Structure 1
Amino acid sequence: MTHRIRAGLALACAALPFAALLSPARAGDGTASAVSVPWGDWLVALLQPASAVLVPIAAAAVTAGIARVAPWATSVLTRDRVEAAIRAGAAYGQNAVAGAAKGRTVSVDLGAAVVAAGARHVLATAPAHVVRRAGGAEGVAARIFRALPLEPQASAANVLAPALAELQGPPARKPALRRG
């Protein structure tokens, strides 16, 4: 029963503005053929308080959606960043080592040098979180090894292992300048 009363009150409240708008037209002498209803004014007056409530709710919903998608998006973006760094390292290694060229198959004897040069480049230029996500220096070298077009007889034992040994070797030091 109370639902019917509420529905009736809501209908009466909604019809009241329309009755107020139409009553001046009925009060005339009856010769008026057109009724002018100012839709824009009452629509703007109705939407201002509604927008004051709905805009913060919509902003909260968008923020909640972004919070749910953020971990997934971060994972995808980091994976893409790792793949781009590996491609750049492989290309750099092929350009940096004499005898290797981009687009050509890398021989076994040049493979270790190409992998090591590419890994050094990635370790020097990529952000730390990308290198960590790739698996550190060993992971970067292994991924570059898999990305290179190597000869069929190339294997992890004859290309990747020497490249890792070269990466873990002592870095070349610059000679100290003497002052005298």
Structure 2
Amino acid sequence: MTQLFRTGLALASAAIPFVALVSPALAAAPAGTVAIPWGDWLVGLLQPVSAVLVPIAAAAVTAGVARVAPWAASLLTRERVEAAIRAGAEYGQNAVAGAARGRTVSVDLGSAVVAAGARHVLATAPAHVVRQAGGAGGVAARIFRALPLDPQARVGNVLTPALAALRAGDEQRG
């Protein structure tokens, strides 16, 4: 008996909105015809549906952004690191007398170019970009690899003196 009562109540609940939608159409319709206001019926149906679907869609978009955000942040940070290293290498080549952008850097000038470029990156790049690049040593090493150096250039004769110059500059400022 309870199941029959629930079914009847559900049918009555479903019929009330339908009767409310159709009754104005029956009152205004000429005799012998029934006009169903499809536009009103559709708007009446879509309002509660959109009230449910819009938050679900917003949650889906938010979840998608949350999944993509770490990847996008990593990509953007990597691009900023590479841009900072390129700018540092160009700055070092322009700042050191005898070095010119686009030409091979000699071993004699290499450490000065690397140190000047690294100082420029450390002074101008955001802290998280410098951290991502590996700190002062990582920035200098990346600039060393980015420069067009003589074939005789090695870590020992270019990068090591550049790191020593960076440390000496830090000690003088500190």
- Counterparts of 1:99-114 in structure 2 under 5 Å? 99-114=98-113
Quote how far apart the aligned CAs of 1:143 are. Answer: 0.2
The corresponding residue for 2:54 is: 55
Match of 1:39 in 2: 38
Aligned to 1:3: none
Moved over 3 A (4+): 23-27, 35-38, 170-173
Q: How many angstroms does 1:138 deviate by?
A: 0.5
Identity across the alignment (%) = 77
In the TM superposition, 1:123-138 aligns within 5 A as: 123-138=122-137
The 5 Å alignment of 1:23-172 reads 27-28=31-32, 38-171=37-170, 172=172
Q: Distance in 2 between matches of 1:134 and 1:101?
A: 25
Q: Deviations over 1:59-89 (max 9, x none)?
A: 1111111111222112111111111111111
Letter in 1 for 2:59: A
**1:38 Cα shift?**
3.4
* Cα distance in 2 for residues equivalent to 1:83 and 1:93: 15
In 2, Cα distance between the equivalents of 1:167 and 1:78? 24
CA separation in 2, counterparts of 1:50 and 1:56? 11
Name whichever of 118-127 and 62-71 sits farther off: 62-71
Return the TM-score normalized by structure 1.
0.76
**Counterpart of 2:97 in 1: which secondary structure?**
coil
Aligned residues: 157
Structure 1: tracts of 5 or more residues without a match = 1-5, 174-180
> Relative to total residues, which structure has the larger helix share, 1 or 2?
2
Aligned equivalents of 2:46, 2:151: Cα separation in 1:
71
Aligned residues: CA RMSD = 2.8
Structure 2 unaligned segments of length 5 or more: list them: 1-6
